[in-house]
Every structure is written in C-alpha cells, then in structure tokens.
C-alpha cells in the first residue's frame, strides 16, 4: 500500500517548563495521528504551533517575542506559515490577544489543546480526521531515554506571588490507571526513566474518593518500570507533602530515586505567611534533617525567591544563611516578579528593583558554589547513568547522559567517551572528573562492575 501523503507539516515551538513539553507532545501525537507531519524548521512548515509560558512576565514576553519572530520570518519570504498560539498566554490573556497579536491565526487555551486537530485544520482550510481519540492509553511521541509524565493539572494553593491557579485552573489529579498505562507505553517504547510532575505532586489523589496518595501511586508506577530496570523520579513536592508514607516509599522502593525536589521559596516565617505559605526556618530545618537521616544518600533540590514584597535585609540574610547551612545539591533562584492579577502585585511594600536584583545575584553566587561543590563530591563514585544522546566534544565524539542524582534537563550531565552503547541504555560509570555542574565518566567494562 502506498504511503499516505501528509495533510500538512507542523512546526512545534515549546517554551517554559516540562509540563508544557508534555502538552506539546500530546498535541504532536494528536496531529500525527490525524495525518499531519512534523516540520524541522519554519522553511518546511505549513503551520507553526507555539506553546507558550506565562508563569512570569518575562516568560510572557519571551513567548510573544518568539511568536513575532516567526511572523517576521514569514513576512520576509519564508513560505506561508500561519501561527497558532497555545498554552498559558492564551489561557491568561485570551480575550485581549486577537487585537494585540493580529499576526496569530488562532489562540488555544491550555484546557482546549485536545481540540488542536480541528483548530489547525480550520486555519489551513483542509480536511482532517476529527474522530474522537481514545485517551485511555498514551498519546506520546517520545524518542529519548527520559520522559516527563504529568500526574495532575492546576493548583489550589493560590500563593500570593503565583498566577498558575488563574492560568491552569483548580487542582485535579489524573487517574492512576491512566498514568500507569502511559508509563507502560513509554517503557515499551524505550524510555527508561519517568519523571512525575505536576504543580503540587505531593497532594496527588486528595481529590479522589478513598485512600489514594502519591506514595501509593509511586509504588504502582514502580511495578510498571521494574521489568525494564527503569527509574522513577518525582518533582515539585511541597514541604507539607512529605508524609511518613511518602518518605518510607522513597527510602524503600528501589525504582524510586532518592532525589527530592522541594521548592521552599523562602524560610522566614513572616515572609512565608505573607506569601500564603506555611512553615518557618526551624520547621524546614527539621524536615531536611529528617530526610537526610531517613533516606541514605538522598539528593535535595530546592528553589529560593528574592525580593518578595516587604522582605527586609534581615529576612534576605535569613534565606541566604539557611541555603548556605543546608548545602542543597541544586538550588534555583528567582527574583520576585510582580504578576498581574496576583495578591502580591497589589501589595504596597514592593522591593526596589536594584535591591531585588542584588539579593538575587548574591544568592545565585552562593548556590553556584554549593552546586559545583556537591557535583565534585561525586568524583570517585561508581554510578548508573542513562545515555541521553551523543555530540561532538573537544576530544571527539562523546556520549551525554545523566546519573540518578541528576534530573534530566536541569541538573547537568555526565560526559563519556563514545562507546558501544545506545541512547536509552543504562550503564555503570566511574566518575573521574567534574567541571561546574558537569561530570566526566568512564564506562565500566562488563565483568568489572561490582
């Protein structure tokens, strides 16, 4: 049978976090299933989909700039390529956008992305298969070794600085059977690590009837990945989500990596309360001490925010000292952004921009030192590494992978001299050197591994 000619080619541009990567992949799968093909660059595309981020004002600006760059390229002679803007920017500013961005042919809010086939068909004026899609299985096109899997959508926290609940809606968990079915399909397709994500993963299942918890979900997912010798990692846990059951699961289930990401934002009790969050320096210190005590070899990632309205010099120092004392393996640092529609944006005691940036840079300098040091401590270890790809290094071809203590796309990588291994393989490596957040490894030959 002759191969069917694609209806049209689609260029995908994704901005923002891993959750957007998952959403783009779902739209890609829907369009490919309906008979479209994927374009590698604008010159080959019949239509472009820009999946946008609007978590911060800077992210919104980046999304708009990327869209306008595509439109400008089209105007300068690139083949006709209408643009469809999807995701967080339409969800946040949808009613205002058609007038402000006439360059865009259609806008699709996050909650409407499953209808992307119909939108693209209308924009291009073509016929496409609009039959309902069975969503009980997976709709993914991942060809790498690691894959993000969303276990929830939205957020109920309404932190004073955050617009996510207004963009993505209220919190709702994804059913465990759907998650496990997707993980099984990904593993069968060659993925060896699944990274469970959501805006607040620790409360997964709290909106279901019965006793459904993240710990129970992790054990179910671990059963799925076990025959493939796979890994399970979970990100975006809030301090309150670290229950006894969850700590025991991370400690006792081999497939669940002892890697915990807890974005604290701050440690000052007054600042946290003003943010609409709970906790204090003492409570956080007790939590991290317990995690280190009960989960041997655990790796910790966190996030700190500088310059929240009303933050004093003393409170900024308190956060700095806390991060320094805790010596997190990885820390992301952000300057507070005054986001439209949030409670914090209306607060009167906004921190001067120069002061905010000075505090941010000071903390970034600290966490860089801590992170480089934490990475260097792995030199001399023997670790399992997932091979993510290959590239040309200074001394010739090299493999790029990440160890169990490195979350994909954010924590650095392990560089290995090219050998007889493939993307997706998990290999045993001796870590022999480090630079910044990167490590150099040598594959342990079969028979040498302990």
Q: What is the pLDDT of residues 36-50, one digit of tens each?
A: 888 888 888 889 999
- CATH code of 9-124, in short, is 3.40.50.12160
pLDDT averaged over every residue in the chain: 89
| Phi, psi at 440, each rounded to 5° | -110, 130
**Encoding tokens for residue 368?**
């860089």
β-strand partners of 149? 196
Binding site residues for [4Fe-4S] cluster, as ranges? 17, 53, 88, 155, 159, 162
C-alpha distance across the termini of the chain, in Å: 52
What order do you get walking across the sheet with 83-87 strand by strand?
37-38, 9-14, 47-52, 83-87, 106-109
The distance of Cα 328 from the centroid of its chain, to the nearest Å, equals 19
* Maximum pairwise Cα distance, the chain: 73
What's the pLDDT score for residue 220?
Answer: 98
Give 6-16 pLDDT, tens digit per residue. 888 999 998 88
Asked whether residue 274 carries a pLDDT value surpassing 90, the answer given is yes
Average pLDDT over residues 49-60: 87
Q: What is the pTM of this model?
A: 0.85
Q: Considering the domain delimited by 146-376, tell me its CATH architecture.
A: Alpha-Beta Horseshoe (3.80)
Query: Residue 139: pLDDT band by 50, 70, 90 thresholds?
Result: low
Asked whether residue 151 carries a pLDDT value surpassing 90, the answer given is yes
Give 352-386 pLDDT, tens digit per residue. 999 999 999 999 999 999 999 999 999 999 999 99
Average pLDDT over residues 337-350: 92
What's the pLDDT score for residue 2?
Answer: 44
CA distance linking residue 77 with residue 345, whole number of Å = 42
What's the pLDDT score for residue 3?
Answer: 55
Choice between 61 and 309, residue whose per-residue pLDDT is larger: 309
β-strand partners of 304? 265, 333
Query: Residue 78: pLDDT band by 50, 70, 90 thresholds?
Result: low
Q: How far is CA 285 from CA 115, 199, 261, 280, in A?
A: 46, 23, 15, 8
CB 35 within 8 A of CB 4: yes
Binding site residues, as ranges? 17, 53, 88, 155, 159, 162
Choice between 95 and 30, residue whose per-residue pLDDT is larger: 30
What's the pLDDT score for residue 5?
Answer: 78
What's the pLDDT score for residue 1?
Answer: 38
Q: Where are the domains of the chain?
A: 9-124, 146-376, 382-443
**Pairing mode of beta strands 146-150, 414-417:** unpaired
What's the pLDDT score for residue 407?
Answer: 94
Query: Residue 212: pLDDT band by 50, 70, 90 thresholds?
Result: very high
What's the pLDDT score for residue 248?
Answer: 97
Hey, what CATH topology would domain 382-443 get? OB fold (Dihydrolipoamide Acetyltransferase, E2P) (2.40.50)
Sequence-distant (6+) residues with CB within 8 A of 316 are 306, 307, 359
């Amino acid at each position: 049978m002759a191969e069917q000619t694609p209806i049209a080619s689609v260029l995908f541009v994704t901005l923002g976090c891993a959750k957007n990567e998952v959403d783009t992949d779902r739209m890609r799968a829907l369009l490919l299933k309906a008979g479209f093909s994927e374009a590698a660059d604008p010159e080959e595309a019949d239509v472009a989909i820009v999946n946008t981020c609007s978590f911060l004002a800077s992210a919104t600006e980046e999304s708009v700039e990327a869209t306008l760059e595509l439109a400008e390229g089209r105007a300068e002679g690139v083949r006709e390529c209408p643009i469809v803007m999807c995701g967080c920017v339409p969800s946040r500013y949808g009613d205002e956008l058609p007038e402000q961005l006439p360059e865009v042919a259609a806008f699709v809010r996050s909650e409407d992305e499953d209808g992307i086939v119909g939108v693209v068909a209308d924009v291009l004026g073509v016929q496409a298969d609009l039959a309902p899609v069975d969503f009980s299985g997976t709709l993914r096109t991942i060809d790498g070794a690691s894959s993000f899997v969303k276990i929830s959508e939205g957020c109920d926290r309404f932190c004073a600085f955050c617009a996510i609940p207004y963009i993505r809606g209220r919190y709702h968990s994804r059913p465990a059977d759907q998650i496990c079915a997707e993980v099984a399909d990904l593993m069968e397709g060659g993925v060896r690590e699944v990274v469970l994500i959501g805006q607040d993963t620790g409360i997964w299942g709290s909106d279901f009837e019965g006793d459904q918890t993240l710990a129970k979900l992790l054990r179910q997912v671990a059963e799925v990945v076990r025959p493939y010798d796979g890994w399970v990692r979970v990100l975006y846990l809030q301090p309150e989500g670290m229950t006894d059951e969850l700590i025991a699961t991370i400690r006792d289930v081999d497939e669940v990596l002892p890697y915990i990401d807890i974005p604290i934002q701050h440690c000052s009790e007054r600042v946290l309360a003003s943010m609409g969050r709970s906790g204090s320096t003492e409570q956080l210190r007790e939590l991290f001490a317990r995690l280190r005590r009960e989960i041997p070899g655990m790796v910790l990632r966190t996030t700190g925010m500088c310059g929240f309205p009303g933050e004093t010099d003393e409170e900024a120092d308190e956060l700095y000292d806390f991060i320094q004392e805790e010596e997190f393996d990885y820390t992301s640092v952000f300057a507070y952004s005054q986001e439209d529609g949030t409670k914090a944006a209306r607060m009167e005691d906004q921190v001067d921009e120069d002061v905010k940036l000075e505090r941010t840079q000071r903390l970034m300098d600290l966490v860089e030192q801590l992170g480089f040091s934490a990475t260097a401590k792995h030199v001399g270890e023997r670790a399992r590494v997932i091979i993510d790809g290959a590239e040309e290094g200074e001394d010739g071809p090299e493999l790029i992978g990440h160890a169990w203590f490195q979350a994909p796309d954010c924590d650095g990588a392990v560089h290995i001299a090219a050998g007889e291994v493939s993307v997706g393989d998990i290999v045993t490596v001796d870590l022999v050197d480090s630079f910044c957040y990167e490590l150099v490894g040598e594959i342990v030959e079969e028979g040498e591994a302990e």
